Structure 1
Amino acid sequence: MTIFFKNKEYRKFSIASILSSAGDILFYLALMTYASRLKNYSLALSLIAISESVPRLFSSVGGYLADRTQNKFQKIVWMAMIRGALYLLVGFLFSQNIAGWNLVIIVIIINFISDTAGTYSSGLTTPLVISLVKKDEVGEAEGFTGGMSQVITLISQFVGSGLLLFMSYSALSVINGLTFILAGLIYYNIARSKRKKGNSTVTQEVDDRGFWATLALALKQVKKAAGLMTTVLVIAVLNGVLSTIEPLVSIVVAGNRQVMVIGTYSFTIALVGAMVGIGTALGSIIGTNLFKKISLYAVILFANVAGASVIIAILNKNIWACLVTCCFLGFFLGAASPKLTQWMVGAVDHTILASSVGLINTILLVVSPLMTTAFTTLSAVTNVQYSLLGLLFISVLLLVITVVVMKRSAKKGELTTI
């Protein structure tokens, strides 16, 4: 937490990132609420979830392009401004008399373009953050920023559900666009400040290797650290479970409003996300110290149990049990993430740290959209119950695998308590 208050440039950078995330949550909640009122709401909600998740598949390409970018601060400013303009356009479209499904399709396409640009922006973020903090502070920075992002997201969800009662979808889209523009101005301020100081971190070292050569080198570095790759894969699947649960919950709640809605539909969906956010925030901020002497695999095991419990609660249409278990799942995943980051920073060669971070982020992100796309598509084509049962099977299988890997790692001395 101290790094946020000590490091002025990092603090501004974090605030810019948090701002854009907060605006995105407001827009996502508005779009999901609008789509839930359409005749074939299940298909609409599934398409929105897919449009949110598929761009993450391009994260490796975005990271590669970011490594080849000379002036990273300049490009991240432009990305923020372009995404802001796209959501201002969405705000204009919502104010026009466009038929429900036609509007949703257009907005989904624009949102897809924006999120695809966001993968490049995310690739720019990692090396810039590393340049703003010390190497031994990366884990703390990741944990604190991630936790605060979840807190802001939580606030945005509740504010958004309240704003939807008296504010138009168009207005919320405009707010989202303005948050990106404000974030871009903050990034520009940081770049200008460093330029005045003659700081070389404004222009980052450029990786001139080919795409596949860069990925191969990064993979080699990650595999050299005993147990790191296994841990990344396990956490990747857990992230996939969490990302898939949220859109499936929205579908189940939409079809069982009488027994599962708390207040309003938008408020209920916001509440589910809020519980995940609270858990993740607490796990990110205090989890690193709380589990300091506990194996990372043990934390992952707790997360597996929580994930299976969430799905069982949804199948039973018990919204309260769903909220509690979602909170626990978010907490354990929030605690695991900074521990993994710090382990990685201490294990890989620092000369290609950014590439290694990009590779791990790619693995973590690729699984989520794949699982979300698969299970939401299954839900749209068949029934949401089949998706939930399939996800439960994967969760139980992952639990068994985690126990086996944990025992093997203990025998080989690969367990880490970072």
Structure 2
Amino acid sequence: MIDVLKNQKYRVFLITDFLSIIGDGLFYIALMTFATSISKNGYAISLVSISETLPLLFTFFTGLLADSSTNRYKDLKNIYFIKTLIYLVVALILGFSSSLIALIVICILNFISDCLGRISIGICSIAPQMIFKQEQWEDSSALYSTNQQIAQIISQSIGGALVLYFTFKNIAFINTGIFLLVFFIFIFNKNVILNVYKTYTKDSSKQGNKNVKQELTDFFKLKNNKSYFELFQSLLSITIINSVLSTIPSILSIAFINFNTSFNYSIFLTFLLSGNTISTILGSTVGIKITKNKNLNRYILYANLVSIMFFISISINKIILSLIMSWILYFIIGIVNPKLNTLFRKTIPIEEYAKITGAFGSFMSIGSVLGSIIYNLSASKNIFVFTTSMTIILTVYFIYTVLGKKEKRKE
């Protein structure tokens, strides 16, 4: 892993990704806190939650755009310039208004920014394959994941502190500065980026032109391909788990508000998110070593079971227990993600990597969107209705999955 870190080309991607995650993390905490300051009934929090989860639904399309990029350096540079402008506008809005209308506009801008971020992720996703030999892919992926998790911890920790001492407008200006810095890093490393993608650019020109309908048709045909069987098998399960993950910050926020505690909300949110991130790091480092060569689907099943326990703990007003369940769930996710990514890299050809992983991501993210919708319709009005509904859905699916596995063993 040290050899991977020493690679100058890869460090550019690590640094820019690190800064981007810090920027997004800072703004997320600020936006959630801003939402709670506007409304205590949960609707404002729902808006933020939906704006954060909807971009995940479009990862097929953003992946398609990423794969079709003919000048990856130019596209990366332009994306971060636009993101800089977006958060500059957000800062100006926050300087003039603190209304629900302002929040709606900011959520729309945040949605656009996140979609652009998804395109940049797609563009950068094949960098390890372009830079390293195959035997180094696993180390590069592990380093990339660790880099992301550390950035999340820093952003969540700093974000909680900034909310206490800075205005929302100033935090948006800080975020603007972060994305401007990323923009200049790409400018100053133009030759590095061009060198990384020059081989891929030649290959991508051979793909021909397909419309979105054809691309979707080709994707669904993959389910008949034996090499993609395990990926499709995991699709529904991870979709359901994502519905849980998407609601955890929001549902715990509502539970926290209803608990009528004098404890500062931004500190609580930072504590929750940092705990989730640390748990994910432990899962992807310690957990992945313990579970080496173990089946992916087993840990997806464990995640389902812990999700049930999470919603039960919310239903009985045990916030501490629900926090623990959240952290355990993220520990398991830390195990699941590397296993899933390894499966992706082994299965998907590099010239279609962003598109196909984006397609899987889009369908897996349906759960995130559905979770947000169900939350928006029920939890903001009655948290018990939401947690009960999710508990029933997850329990039924868990039983169905277990019985299905038993039937397969008999066969």
The TM-score, its normalising length taken from structure 2, stands at 0.90
- SS of structure 1 residue aligned to 2:292: coil
**Aligned-partner Cα distance in 1 for 2:201–2:190:** 6
Matches within 5 A, 1:108-257: 108-195=107-194, 199-201=198-200, 205-206=204-205, 207=207, 208-221=209-222, 223-224=224-225, 225=227, 226-257=229-260
TM-aligned CA distance change 1:100 to 1:356, over 3 Å: closer
Partner amino acid for 1:211?
V
Structure 1 counterpart of 2:302:
302
CA contact (8 A) 1:94 1:103 kept: yes
Q: 1:295 Cα deviation (Å)?
A: 1.5
TM-aligned CA distance change 1:348 to 1:108, over 3 Å: closer
178-187 or 24-33: bigger deviation: 178-187
366-375 or 203-212: bigger deviation: 203-212
TM-aligned CA distance change 1:310 to 1:411, over 3 Å: same
CA contact (8 A) 1:227 1:409 kept: no
- CA shift digits 1:94-119 (9 cap, x unpaired): 222x2422322222222122223233
TM-aligned CA distance change 1:62 to 1:316, over 3 Å: same
Q: 1:121 Cα deviation (Å)?
A: 2.6
TM-aligned CA distance change 1:195 to 1:142, over 3 Å: closer
Structure 2 counterpart of 1:291:
291
CA contact (8 A) 2:27 2:171 kept: yes
Structure 2 counterpart of 1:385:
384
Q: C-alpha root-mean-square deviation of aligned residues, in Å? A: 2.5
Structure 2 counterpart of 1:400:
399
**Aligned-partner Cα distance in 2 for 1:137–1:377:** 46
Runs of 5+ consecutive residues of structure 2 not aligned to the other structure = none
Runs of 5+ consecutive residues of structure 1 not aligned to the other structure = 413-418
- CA shift digits 1:329-350 (9 cap, x unpaired): 0011111111112123223455
CA contact (8 A) 1:157 1:273 kept: yes
Partner amino acid for 1:35?
A
Q: 1:135 Cα deviation (Å)?
A: 4.1
271-280 or 314-323: bigger deviation: 314-323
Partner amino acid for 1:345?
R
Partner amino acid for 1:250?
S
CA contact (8 A) 1:245 1:311 kept: no
**1:29 is aligned to 2:29:** yes
CA contact (8 A) 1:248 1:376 kept: no
| Identity value in percent | 26
- CA shift digits 1:192-213 (9 cap, x unpaired): 2254699434666144222222
Q: 1:267 Cα deviation (Å)?
A: 0.7
CA contact (8 A) 1:236 1:364 kept: yes
**Aligned-partner Cα distance in 2 for 1:164–1:108:** 18
Q: 1:157 Cα deviation (Å)?
A: 1.2
- SS of structure 2 residue aligned to 1:70: coil
Q: 1:290 Cα deviation (Å)?
A: 2.0
The TM-score, its normalising length taken from structure 1, stands at 0.88
**Aligned-partner Cα distance in 1 for 2:331–2:68:** 35
Partner amino acid for 2:115?
T
Structure 2 counterpart of 1:279:
279
Partner amino acid for 1:173?
A
**1:85 is aligned to 2:88:** no
TM-aligned CA distance change 1:280 to 1:23, over 3 Å: same
TM-aligned CA distance change 1:158 to 1:197, over 3 Å: closer
